[in-house]
């Protein structure tokens, strides 16, 4: 379920003083157990220090029925796949088979503006190309298998929204093309290239580009009255963009190996990083992830139900990887919790407060709400004694009551306060408030 009522990016910010050399593993375990015991998440966490794993845990599986898992259970890592794709591109550059300045037209001349778009533009999301994963009339069209030709048709149809280097806008289309360029130059499929260049050299047994033979993958879940499987991407549609599966342990090994220059040269890694002094939001394969005064590099990844992050701090030789494939507590807050404990910051475990209302108590909230200051309408319905919300063109989501007129969806940072006598509702998402009126 993708909720896009208000688009917002929450980064892990601010300044911090001292790194705790001895990580409080027990407190981290208590924190994750708190999430698990309150049935607020499902997933896996791995923490590395000085190249070695100091903590690993699968959590939340006990709240599922008839689920088997083990230390090799893999998770969809979404857009973390892009770090792998960028690594393969830079390996080609190091071997003089490609240049950052090469034009897209050299490989795919039918793509709009291909004579102006460079490999560098594709890597850093400055190409102007769009997002083939979401058609204008169908944002979930890639949940079923489509042909490569159909994907190229969609990329061409979407065209460009700005000229290369004019600005930056995240482009799944750009990374799909990078993966295809890699296949074209090496005359092999993406899964084989990943195996030969990444997984075999690093002895990663559970990181792979998805194929029909890939086993032991944990599906995505969403929560209504109980955890239910999410209809996720058909991952063969998004090769090189978001198809890779991995354990959190293998993610940490990969990223720490990258920063130990076992795959690429040091000067190449520097090219991959965003230039924070220029306030680059994306680098050329790596994102900047600030936590207080500490600088992490890595990437996040989302599918329709799984949310991941892998991050590495060069100064402290610290790696954090997590995959949450069932989210009721925001994954950004999850990361903040773990990093706060690692760095010895005072941190209070979240309080999970909810109440149960009768079905008839919900009737006065039902209806469609709108505002001239908000682009979407929000329709409120109920199923039994569960209040449901649905924004224009988006799937329904369940709301949790925490007061008699107040409801929330923690994973989206969403709170709704109903004012029945005024026929109004206050929508608050991540601190941004909008007053909406019942039609």
pLDDT of residue 124: 97
Task: Name the 3-class secondary structure at 171.
Answer: coil
Stretch 318-341: mean pLDDT, rounded? 96
pLDDT digits (tens, 9 = 90+) for 349-406: 999 988 999 999 999 999 999 999 999 999 999 999 999 999 998 888 999 999 999 9
Q: Say if residue 407 is exposed, middle or buried (CB neighbours under 10 Å; 0-12, 13-18, 19+).
A: buried
Element of type H or E holding 174: helix 172-186
Instruction: Please give the Cα distance from 62 to 10 (Å, whole number).
Output: 30
**Chain CA centroid to CA 304, Å:** 9
Instruction: Please give the Cα distance from 328 to 323 (Å, whole number).
Output: 13
At 411, the pLDDT band (50, 70, 90 cuts) reads: confident
Kindly write down the DSSP assignment for every residue of 336-362, as one continuous string: HHHHHHHTT---PPPP-------GGGG
Which residue pairs from 140-143 have beta carbons closer than 8 angstroms and sit at least 24 positions apart in sequence? 140/231, 140/304, 142/233, 142/234, 142/237, 142/238, 143/231, 143/232, 143/233, 143/234, 143/304
pLDDT of residue 277: 82
At 21, the pLDDT band (50, 70, 90 cuts) reads: low
Higher pLDDT, 136 or 28: 28
Average pLDDT, the chain: 93
Rounded to the nearest 10 degrees, the angle between the axes of helix 81-94 and helix 248-259 is: 30
Stretch 144-156: mean pLDDT, rounded? 97
Kindly write down the DSSP assignment for every residue of 211-253, as one continuous string: -TT---BPPPEEESSSEEE-----GGGGTTTT--EE-HHHHHH
pLDDT digits (tens, 9 = 90+) for 94-121: 999 999 999 999 999 999 999 999 999 9
Sorted by where each starts, the structural domains of the chain and their CATH numbers stand as 25-65+74-342 (3.40.710.10), 359-438 (2.40.128)
pLDDT digits (tens, 9 = 90+) for 259-291: 999 999 999 999 999 998 888 889 999 999 999
Stretch 69-80: mean pLDDT, rounded? 96
Reduce the secondary structure of 105-161 to three states and give it as a string: HHCCCCCCCCCCCEHHHHHCCCCCECCCCCCCCCCCHHHCCCCHHHHHHHHHHHCEC
CB 292 within 8 A of CB 218: no
% of the chain surpassing 70 pLDDT: 95
Of the candidates 324, 354, 355, the residue with the CA atom closest to the CA atom of residue 337: 324
Instruction: Report the alpha-carbon angle 360-362-363, nearest 5.
Output: 70
Would you say the C-alpha torsion 287, 9, 169, 275 has a positive or negative sign?
negative
Q: Which of 12-26, 49-63, 401-415 shows the lowest per-residue confidence on average (mean pLDDT)?
A: 12-26
Token output for 138 = 């169908």
Rounded to 10 degrees, what is the CA torsion of 382, 383, 386, 391? -50
pTM of this structure: 0.88
pLDDT of residue 10: 35
pLDDT digits (tens, 9 = 90+) for 412-436: 889 999 999 999 999 999 889 999 9
Stretch 48-52: mean pLDDT, rounded? 95
Q: Say if residue 315 is exposed, middle or buried (CB neighbours under 10 Å; 0-12, 13-18, 19+).
A: exposed
pLDDT digits (tens, 9 = 90+) for 220-238: 999 878 899 999 999 999 9
pLDDT digits (tens, 9 = 90+) for 169-204: 999 999 999 999 999 999 999 999 999 999 999 999
**Chain CA centroid to CA 68, Å:** 24
Calculate the alpha carbon distances from 206 to 176, 200, 215, 250, 266 in Å. Answer: 23, 11, 10, 7, 26
Eight-class DSSP state of 413: T
Task: List the beta bridge partners of residue 327.
Answer: 41
CB 407 within 8 A of CB 392: no
Does 152 have pLDDT greater than 60?
yes
């Amino acid at each position: 379920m993708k909720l896009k009522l208000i688009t917002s990016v929450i980064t892990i910010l601010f300044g911090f003083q001292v790194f705790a050399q001895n990580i409080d593993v027990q407190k981290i375990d208590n924190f994750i157990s708190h999430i698990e015991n309150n049935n607020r998440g499902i997933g896996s966490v791995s923490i590395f220090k000085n190249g070695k794993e100091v903590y690993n845990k699968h959590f939340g599986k006990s709240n599922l029925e008839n689920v088997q898992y083990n230390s090799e259970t893999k998770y969809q890592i979404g857009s973390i796949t892009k770090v792998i794709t960028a690594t393969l591109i830079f390996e080609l550059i190091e071997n003089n088979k490609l240049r950052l300045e090469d034009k897209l037209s050299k490989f795919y001349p039918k793509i709009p503006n291909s004579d102006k778009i460079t490999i560098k533009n594709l890597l850093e999301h400055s190409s102007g190309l769009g997002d083939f994963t979401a058609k204008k009339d169908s944002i979930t069209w890639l949940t079923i298998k489509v042909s490569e030709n159909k994907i190229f048709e969609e990329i061409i149809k979407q065209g460009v929204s700005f000229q290369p280097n004019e600005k930056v806008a995240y482009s799944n289309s750009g990374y799909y093309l990078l993966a295809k360029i890699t296949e074209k130059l090496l005359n092999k499929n993406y899964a084989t290239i990943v195996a030969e260049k990444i997984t075999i050299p690093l002895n990663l047994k559970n990181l792979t580009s998805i194929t029909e033979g890939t086993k032991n993958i944990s599906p995505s879940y969403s929560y209504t009255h109980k955890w239910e499987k999410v209809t996720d991407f058909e991952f063969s549609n998004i090769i090189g963009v978001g198809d890779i599966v991995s354990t959190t342990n293998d993610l940490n090994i990969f990223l720490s190996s990258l920063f130990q220059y076992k795959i690429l040269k040091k000067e190449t890694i520097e090219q991959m990083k965003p230039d924070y002094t220029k306030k680059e939001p994306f680098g050329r394969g790596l994102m900047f992830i600030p936590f207080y005064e500490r600088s992490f590099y890595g990437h996040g990844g989302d599918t329709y139900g799984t949310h991941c992050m892998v991050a590495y701090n060069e100064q402290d030789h610290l790696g954090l990887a997590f995959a949450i494939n069932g989210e009721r507590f925001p994954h950004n807050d999850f990361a903040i919790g773990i990093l706060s404990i690692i760095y010895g910051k005072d941190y209070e475990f979240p309080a999970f407060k909810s109440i149960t209302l009768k079905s008839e108590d919900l009737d006065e909230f039902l209806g469609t709400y709108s505002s001239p200051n908000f682009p979407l309408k929000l329709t409120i319905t109920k199923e039994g004694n569960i209040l449901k919300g649905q924004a224009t063109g988006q799937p329904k989501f369940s709301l949790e009551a925490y007061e008699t007129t107040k409801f929330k969806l923690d994973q989206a940072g969403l709170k709704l306060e109903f004012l029945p006598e005024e026929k109004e509702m206050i929508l608050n998402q991540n601190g941004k408030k909008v007053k909406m009126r019942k039609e």
